Structure 1
Amino acid sequence: MKFAVLVFPGSNCDIDCYKAVEDTIGEPVDYVWHTATDLSAYDCILVPGGFSYGDYLRCGAISRFAPVMAEVAKAAEQGKYILGICNGFQILTEAGLLPGTLLRNMSLKFLCHDTVLRVENNSNPFTTQYEVGEEIKIPIAHGEGNYYCDEATLADLKANNQIIFRYVNNPNGSVEDIAGISNKNGNVVGMMPHPERAVDSLLGSEDGKKMFTSILKAWRDRHESASVR
């Protein structure tokens, strides 16, 4: 399984994502610059956190127009796996690949600390190795992590089981404590907390590891099923 870690001007969690893949599941991984126009070689695309383009205009508002995002949209349509973390989540919402938007934290302060998440959906390719209701410790680091959507969108998220994680103690004001969601097909996931920063006990938690082992298993299961046909 081959991973791409996108890099925009201002990304600062790209190395974290790269090392999480390399050290946790040992699969091939490349940095891919925002000007890239071909992602066909990759099975999973990670859109990392940071401050792409300095968060000018709005978080992710400029990055969504980068050449590589047309390829991300194409990969999403093809059913490839895409994970947007923090600023990556913001970019995916700006690009229309995930519903809703991310607003300023209710406190109007940048938050950087551990949070406890509850797993709401373990049928998603990124969460199959968790249990529904399992509580995991994953850090946050954001100023605009307050997830918002209108009532109709929220009803759709619930009806389609697109809410992946909720905060146990909501740090930012997100509607219904939402910390992570997926698209309707389940192959595109966005979340504000940083699982790539929770893959080793030295970092304070290993609870993010299962996101990487889950997606590897999902990819292998898909390919084994295809080979049987």
Structure 2
Amino acid sequence: MKFAVLVFPGSNCDLDMYHAVEDTVQQPVDYVWHTATDLSAYDAILVPGGFSYGDYLRCGAIAQFAPVMEEVRKAAEAGKFVLGVCNGFQILTEAGLLPGALIRNNSLKFRCHPVDLVVENNKTAFTNDYAPGETVRIPIAHGEGNYYVDEQTLLTLKANNQIVFRYAGENPNGSTDNIAGVSNERGNVVGMMPHPERAVKELLGSKDGARMFTSVLNAFLSRVNSGAVHGAQAQSERV
């Protein structure tokens, strides 16, 4: 399995994401600059946190137009695995790959500390190593993490089981329905404000984020094995 970590001008969590892949699943990983026009070599695309293009206009509003984002859209449509964290989540919503928008924290303050999350959906490519209803501890670091959707979109998210994580206890930013992370309907694209790449070892205060990366490796291997089985069955039928 091969991972791409996208890098925009202003990204500052790309190094953490790169090493999280190395430390958790020991799979090949590359930095990919925002001008790239081909992601065909990659199975998973990670969009890290930071302040892409200085967060001018809105967080992620300029990054959505970067050349690489057209390739991210194609990859998502093809069923490849895409994870956006913090600014990466903001970019994915601006690009229309995930519903909703991220706005200023209701406190108007930057929040940077560990939070408890409830795993609401363990059926996505990035959460299959968790138990449903499990509480995990993962840090946040954002000033615009207030996830907003209108009432109809919220009903759709609930109906399609697209709410992946909710904040347990205090809601640190005022997000709708305590939502901390969501997926697309297929479950191959996930966005979240907390930083799993900063929670992959006990030395960092928690290793609960490591299972985001083992989960997507599970999903990839399951897909590969399923393809091999189907291929063998087709070969057998032809014989």
* Equivalence for 2:104: 104
- What residue identity is the alignment partner of 2:77? E
Provide the C-alpha distance between the structure 1 equivalents of 2:209 and 2:100, rounded to a whole number of angstroms. 24
Q: Find runs of 4+ consecutive structure 1 residues off by over 3 angstroms.
A: none
Provide the C-alpha distance between the structure 2 equivalents of 1:124 and 1:184, rounded to a whole number of angstroms. 9
Q: CA deviation at 1:125?
A: 1.2
CA RMSD in angstroms, aligned pairs only: 0.4
* Equivalence for 1:220: 221
1:118 aligned counterpart, secondary structure: strand
Please list the CA deviations of residues 123-152 of structure 1 after superposition, one character each: whole Å capped at 9, or x if unmatched: 111111111110000000000000000111
* Equivalence for 2:26: 26
Quote the sequence identity (%).
73
1:164 aligns with 2:193: no
- What residue identity is the alignment partner of 1:139? P
Larger radius of gyration: 2
* Equivalence for 1:76: 76
Superposed counterparts of 1:17-96, under 5 Å = 17-96=17-96
Provide the C-alpha distance between the structure 2 equivalents of 1:218 and 1:70, rounded to a whole number of angstroms. 24
Q: CA deviation at 1:23?
A: 1.0
- What residue identity is the alignment partner of 1:61? A
- What residue identity is the alignment partner of 2:162? Q
TM-score by length of 1: 0.99
Provide the C-alpha distance between the structure 1 equivalents of 2:216 and 2:33, rounded to a whole number of angstroms. 23
Please list the CA deviations of residues 42-87 of structure 1 after superposition, one character each: whole Å capped at 9, or x if unmatched: 0000000000001011000000000000000000000000000000
Question: Structure 1 unaligned runs (5+)?
Answer: none
Provide the C-alpha distance between the structure 1 equivalents of 2:218 and 2:184, rounded to a whole number of angstroms. 20
* Equivalence for 1:186: 187
Provide the C-alpha distance between the structure 1 equivalents of 2:123 and 2:194, rounded to a whole number of angstroms. 19
Provide the C-alpha distance between the structure 1 equivalents of 2:3 and 2:174, rounded to a whole number of angstroms. 32
2:32 aligned counterpart, secondary structure: strand
Provide the C-alpha distance between the structure 1 equivalents of 2:119 and 2:159, rounded to a whole number of angstroms. 17
- What residue identity is the alignment partner of 1:117? L
* Equivalence for 1:144: 144
Question: Structure 2 unaligned runs (5+)?
Answer: 231-239
Provide the C-alpha distance between the structure 2 equivalents of 1:72 and 1:173, rounded to a whole number of angstroms. 29
1:114 aligned counterpart, secondary structure: strand
- What residue identity is the alignment partner of 1:66? A
* Equivalence for 2:177: 176
* Equivalence for 2:204: 203
* Equivalence for 2:234: none
Provide the C-alpha distance between the structure 2 equivalents of 1:176 and 1:202, rounded to a whole number of angstroms. 32
